[in-house]
Amino acid sequence: MGGIVVLASGLATQAAEPDGLQLPQGFHASVVADGITGARHLAFRSNGDLFVSLRGEKESGVVAIHFDADHKAAVVKRFGDVGGGTGIRFHRDAIFVAAPTAVYRFELAPDALTPVGEPVKIIVGMPDKGFTARPIAFDDRGHLYVGVGGGSNLCVQGNAAAGEQPQGLSPCPDLAVRAGIWRFDANRPNQQFPSDGTRIATGVRDVGALDWDQNAGLHMVMHNRNGTSRTWPQIVSPTDENAIAEEMHRLGTATDLGWPYTYYDGARGIRLVAPEYGGDGKTQPTNGKYATPEVAFPGHGAPLDLVFYTGRQFPKKYRNGAFVVFHGGNGPDLPDGHNGYDVMFVPFSRTGKAGSPLTFATGFAGEAPADRNVSRAKYRPVGAAVAPDGSLFIADSNRGRIWRISYGEAQN
């Protein structure tokens, strides 16, 4: 699509919404669970039970929640010891949970909240260092996709001496063994990473947002590079830094997102050679070598989840579209805050073409712009999932709160 879009909202300020959330007209939120410490990603079973992956220094395993008729958490159970969990999905009524080094399958009896027996390892041997998010997705042909980011923010030679700027490694060794998206057999145990998989994308710095849709295909949103203006202030200004886009791509058979050699300037709608590889803020790479994002979101919003809307409760314009959860930018406190701390919606046509995104849910951090700093944010959205009834659930990482967002229902 080219440049960073103007993020129109159309949000209605509705005082009755819990926690000061702002939603489009006709939508309402309710708090359905709280205190799920370390909540990361969400997955619904077909019976309406919700499963939450946990990630944190002291958190591991999965939390399973059964809701009552009022959509409030009635039974909460925890199982497993999968550490650093990120990706979590259901496939053929079994639950798959990703840790940094492996993807596990847990078998569940009908309507049970905890699994039967020990988990089966489906993918093993993923790296335990560097970026450790492992989002997963399934298509309708029995394939399991997993994202494995690079080893660090940049791919450079050791530590630069005082006063010197780092030089990029060429070729970058990460590109041989990680920094991509792989496809595996969803049903075969003990597949070795990466040799038993098929690589379908490369040049991926870091990814937590990955999902597949029968119309739109496989999509991801990439975290782009940090700290470029601090290291190369003569090339990249703070304004330029903010335009280094978080990139949304449709993945084909050999999609190259350009990391670490390039980055995408969303304000100008062009891909640029990275400074550590000789870039000057103007030079573009060879035409056609790297993919152009379908959507270029503002920089440093921290996209952590992507979910296509498969329900029918929301108005027609939301059908086939995707929700992107932005955890919110890190770094020093800024008077106007950082990008993110919200949930965006990207409409898709029936043929799978992305449209211009809109702000769907905001206000998580607080009312003031300065609340969108890590030190001040009350809540930080981290994961989302579509419930069987078509409502959208969103999780927070600060206090483990979970909201249910519905359309056209009477408020409780």
pLDDT at 12 over 60: no
Maximum CA extent, the chain: 63
Tokens of 88: 């979590």
The pLDDT of residue 5 is: 42
Average pLDDT over residues 28-40: 96
Give me the CATH code for the 11-407 domain, please. 2.120.10.30
Residue 275 is predicted with a pLDDT of: 97
For residues 299 and 326, the answer to whether their CB atoms sit within 8 Å is no
Confidence at residue 164, expressed as pLDDT on a 0 to 100 scale = 80
Indicate the range of 131-135, 201-205, 284-288, 295-299 predicted with least confidence.
284-288
Q: Is the pLDDT of residue 14 over 50?
A: no
* Number of alpha helices (DSSP H) and beta strands (DSSP E) in the chain: 3, 30
Q: Which range has the worst mean pLDDT, 51-65, 253-267, 320-334?
A: 51-65
| 244 and 223 Cβ atoms separated by less than 8 Å | no
Q: Are strands 198-202 and 217-223 parallel, antiparallel or unpaired?
A: unpaired
Over range 289-303, report the average pLDDT: 96
pLDDT the model gives residue 4: 44
Mean pLDDT of 36-43: 96
What is the rounded distance in angstroms from the CA atom of residue 90 to the CA atom of residue 138?
A: 9
Of the candidates 381, 205, 212, which has an alpha carbon nearest to the alpha carbon of residue 301? 381
Task: Compute the distance between CA of residue 19 and CA of residue 324 in angstroms, rounded to an integer.
Answer: 20
pLDDT reading at 297 higher than 50 = yes
What is the tens place of the pLDDT at every residue in 77-129? 999 988 877 899 999 999 999 999 999 999 999 989 999 899 999 999 999 99
Going from the C-alpha of 53 to that of each of 61, 105, 283, 296, 299, the distances in angstroms are: 7, 13, 42, 28, 26
Count of beta carbons in the 10 Å neighbourhood of residue 67: 18
| 165 pLDDT more than 90 | no
Q: Please give the angle made by the CA atoms of 222, 226 and 228, to the nearest 5 degrees.
A: 125
CB 122 within 8 A of CB 188: yes
* Structure token digits, residue 75: 């039974």
Q: What is the pLDDT of residue 59?
A: 80
The percentage of the chain sitting over the pLDDT mark of 90, rounded to a whole number, equals 86
What residue segments make up the domains of the chain, in order of their start? Answer: 11-407
State yes or no: pLDDT of 7 exceeds 50.
no
Rounded mean pLDDT, 224-232: 95
Mean pLDDT, the chain, integer: 93
Report the distance separating Cα 266 and Cα 358, nearest Å: 16
Straight-line distance from the first to the last Cα atom of the chain, in angstroms, rounded to the nearest whole number:
41
d(CA 375, CA 363): 16
Whole-model pTM?
0.95
Task: With beta carbons less than 8 A apart as the criterion, state whether 249 and 160 touch.
Answer: no
pLDDT score recorded for residue 162:
62
